[in-house]
Amino acid sequence: MKKILITGGAGFIGSHTVVAVHQSGYQPVIVDNFSNSEKSVLNGIEKICGRAFPLHEGDCVDAPFMRSVFKAEGEIAGVIHFAAYKSVNESLEQPAKYYKNNIGSLLTLLDVMQEFKSPLLVFSSSCTVYGDPDECPVTEAAPMKETPTPYGKTKQICENIIRDVVASGRDIKGVALRYFNPIGAHPTGFIGELPIGVPNNLVPYVTQTAAGIRDRLTVFGDDYGTPDGSCVRDFIHVVDLAEAHVKALDYLQGVKEPRCYEVFNCGTGHGHSVKEVVETFEKANGLKLNYKIGPRRPGDIEQVYANTDRVNALMNWKSKLSLDQALKDAWNWQKMLNKK
């Protein structure tokens, strides 16, 4: 079984990807410093997979630590790199923290991968690299426009670093997956999105409001140029997104060119408004949410959703799970948390 190192493997997308990697016949190895995740997630992974996986607790910016991981594990066939700070709002307040961690961890990882001859990298990128796109659905050919957040800028910089490193002939092939808006949870309810403190993302705030943890949900703006005035996003089930990482590994292994670097959109190809998500959640779960309309939020763009033709054709991957199912799974996860 080929070993795949998964940095940030205890996070929301990372934990689901650990499961998908295992179920596809690879052996996942987890690296996490638990700065934005909980160790209880590992128990959920073990329940789903029926076994535990190697865990190395530490920081990806720390080069000696990362070398110790590669030495301990022997040959690592590929790396899926999630480890990064991810709050758009926090990045506006603490930009230096985001530049240091998100870029520094990638630079350390690339050096160590080269040193230990680990040839494949799947990078966790974001649709924020497009900024406010000129048209939707947005294709991979769209330019990287100015993005209003340091978080988005770190993703742009990291993509350029990988592209340049691959082009330099350092025996690394890379894929950057540009996520749109991951939501949902594993259907077992054993793992899901676990924000620390007040959620920054829409769906966990929705589920926490439904559970009574939050008094009220705020929809930020109803005066955008969209059908109902609220922002439009491409919401993708996290289980679908996790499987895209396995497809990316398979794709890289099938490429013969030594200097391969590709970017792919990972979304459903459909846009849904914030109000539509709220209404779908209510219908799917038979609940009423307490919510209000508030002012626009700094850093939000009006709408962005994916054109997925390229990833469908080249990586043989397509999202399968509906918005309705994602919101049911998210609520099921929240109810499991409530029991704990």
Catalytic residues: 151
DSSP string, 208-275: HHHTTSSS-EEEE-S-SSSTTSS-EE-EEEHHHHHHHHHHHHHHHHH---SS-EEEEEES-S--EEHH
H or E element that contains 28: strand 27-32
Q: Are 289 and 210 in contact (CB under 8 A)?
A: yes
With tokens 């539509």, the residue in question is 276
Cis peptide before 137 (omega within 30 of 0): yes
The SS3 assignment for 325 reads helix
Residue 262 CB: number of other CB atoms within 10 A?
20
| Nearest in space to 305 (alpha carbons), one of 133, 185, 149, 154 | 133
